[in-house]
């Protein structure tokens, strides 16, 4: 799983970016990645780094609002 954080931030098709409207309780940044694009209600993955090194926590996978 060590490659997953790298894949989520580096793959251009995922269009990963910080989601500025929210922060995790500890103050960590939340990121949004595209699971789909250019479709109605395209899916998004919301995640943050941690709790440990080289780990991420997926908060939700949801249709684009």
pLDDT at position 21:
75
pLDDT at position 2:
47
- The residues that bridge with 60 in the sheet, in sequence order, are 46
pTM of the predicted model as reported, rounded to 2 decimal places: 0.69
pLDDT tens for the chain, 65 residues: list them.
Answer: 444 555 455 555 567 778 777 667 777 888 888 888 778 778 888 888 888 888 888 988 988 76
pLDDT at position 55:
87
Helix (H, G, I), strand (E, B) or coil at 9: helix
**CA-CA distance, 52 to 7, in Å (whole number)?**
17
pLDDT at position 1:
43
Indicate the DSSP class of residue 12.
G
**CA-CA distance, 18 to 15, in Å (whole number)?**
10
């Amino acid at each position: 799983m060590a490659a997953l954080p790298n894949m989520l931030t580096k793959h251009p098709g995922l269009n990963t970016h910080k989601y500025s409207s929210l922060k995790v309780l500890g103050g960590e940044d939340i990121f949004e990645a595209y699971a789909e694009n250019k479709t109605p209600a395209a899916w998004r993955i919301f995640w943050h780094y941690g709790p440990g090194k080289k780990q991420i926590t997926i908060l939700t996978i949801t249709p684009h609002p």
